[in-house]
Chains A and B, each alone.
Chain A
Amino acid sequence: MNKSTLYKGCLEPILLKLLHDHGRMYGYEITQKVRELTGGELQITEGALYPLLHRLEERGILQVEMENIGNRIRKYYALTPLGDRQRDKAQSELNTFLQTLQILLKPAI
């Protein structure tokens, strides 16, 4: 099975956790951080990351800051208070999901 398909549903909790740990981040930085933390095991594609970031921004889970860095503008994303609550919720849902999977995949005695 394709690894990226397995990770697909976990993208939101991963992203919220990263933003919680690092404060504010920009799109490219997020892709690189995930690659670095997972040793290249998980690579978030830009085509999946930006739609998710925009969706979370419109839902009020993320807030943005624009910053001029030399000859271009950078858009930083950070968690809002609502985003912080959403992170806890997403994290606990993911944990429940993992526990359920472990029950299903545990070898039968």
Chain B
Amino acid sequence: MTLTDEQIEALYVFCREHYVTYYDVQVELVDHMASSIEQLMAADPKLTFDQARQKAFKGFGYKGFSGVVEERTQQAQIASRRRVWKFFLSCFSWPKMMQTLLILTVLYCLQFYLPLSVLKWVTVGCSGFLVILEGFLVGRQWLRFRKPSRPLLMMQKAWPFQFTSAMMLNVYYNLFMGLRRLDGEKQFVTLTYDLYILAFVITLALILAVYDTKRRIYVTAREKYPAAFPIPAV
């Protein structure tokens, strides 16, 4: 026997009642419960849907669905962190390293041609660029990444989606201030400029890594759970 649409919907409600609010987790649990209920009801036709559902739920043990949600959350966080880290490291390894080195070299060589008073403005310009880039990427993401109509754990619990622009700029500020301790926090000198461009390149790689990871997660979510995205992608 096959469960009706109403019974499948009742299983989604059952999941929500047991604190499984994420659609990507619900899909799998509903299919599992439905398969189990179908088999139980086929073996014992006297069994009602509710009785079979309770029997099927017992298979998840004393923790119920919470164990599944906990593990899924943990894995989503680990995987997203790993993706960010992988992209970040790729900026400092072959072949992307060439681009990173080019940016570093251009900025580094400026100090041989420009006086310190102008280099100060170069750092201001680079900081402005980072703020604009972050704003641009967040805006692009807002326009392109349509919010799912049903919450997805793989997006909500992924680390880059919890990492805001304010946090990113805070990392940048602290990174630079941390590096400045190396030059004794004196007046703006050449070493200050060198430390600044280092902080700039690291933050740039981090911004791109976070954005790229968000994009990949979003694309995967759309492929796997199209029903959670009723509006087509831009």
Q: Contact: B27 with A73, CB < 8 Å?
A: yes
Q: What's the nearest-Cβ distance from chain B to residue A31, in Å?
A: 8
Q: Contact: B31 with A45, CB < 8 Å?
A: no
In the complex, the number of residue pairs spanning A and B with C-beta atoms less than 8 Å apart equals 73
Q: Contact: B28 with A45, CB < 8 Å?
A: no
Q: Contact: A27 with B8, CB < 8 Å?
A: no
Q: CB-nearest residue of chain A relative to B73?
A: A54
Q: Contact: B75 with A55, CB < 8 Å?
A: yes
- Majority secondary structure, A binding face: helix
| Bound CA span A64–B28, Å | 12
Contact of B61 among A27, A45, A75 (CB under 8 A): A45
- Majority secondary structure, B binding face: helix
Q: Contact: B31 with A72, CB < 8 Å?
A: yes
Q: Contact: A54 with B75, CB < 8 Å?
A: yes
Q: Contact: B8 with A71, CB < 8 Å?
A: yes
Q: What's the nearest-Cβ distance from chain A to residue B93, in Å?
A: 20
Interface centre among A26, A32, A45, A46 (most CB of B within 10 A): A46
B30 located at the interface, meaning its Cβ lies under 8 Å from any Cβ of chain A in the complex: yes
Tell which of B32-40, B106-114, B182-190, B196-204 binds the partner: B32-40
Q: Contact: B60 with A58, CB < 8 Å?
A: no
Q: Contact: B31 with A51, CB < 8 Å?
A: no
A28 located at the interface, meaning its Cβ lies under 8 Å from any Cβ of chain B in the complex: yes
Can you sample 17 A-B contacts with CB below 8 Å?
A28-B35, A29-B35, A32-B39, A46-B60, A50-B67, A51-B71, A54-B68, A54-B72, A54-B75, A57-B75, A69-B31, A71-B4, A72-B3, A72-B27, A73-B227, A75-B27, A75-B31
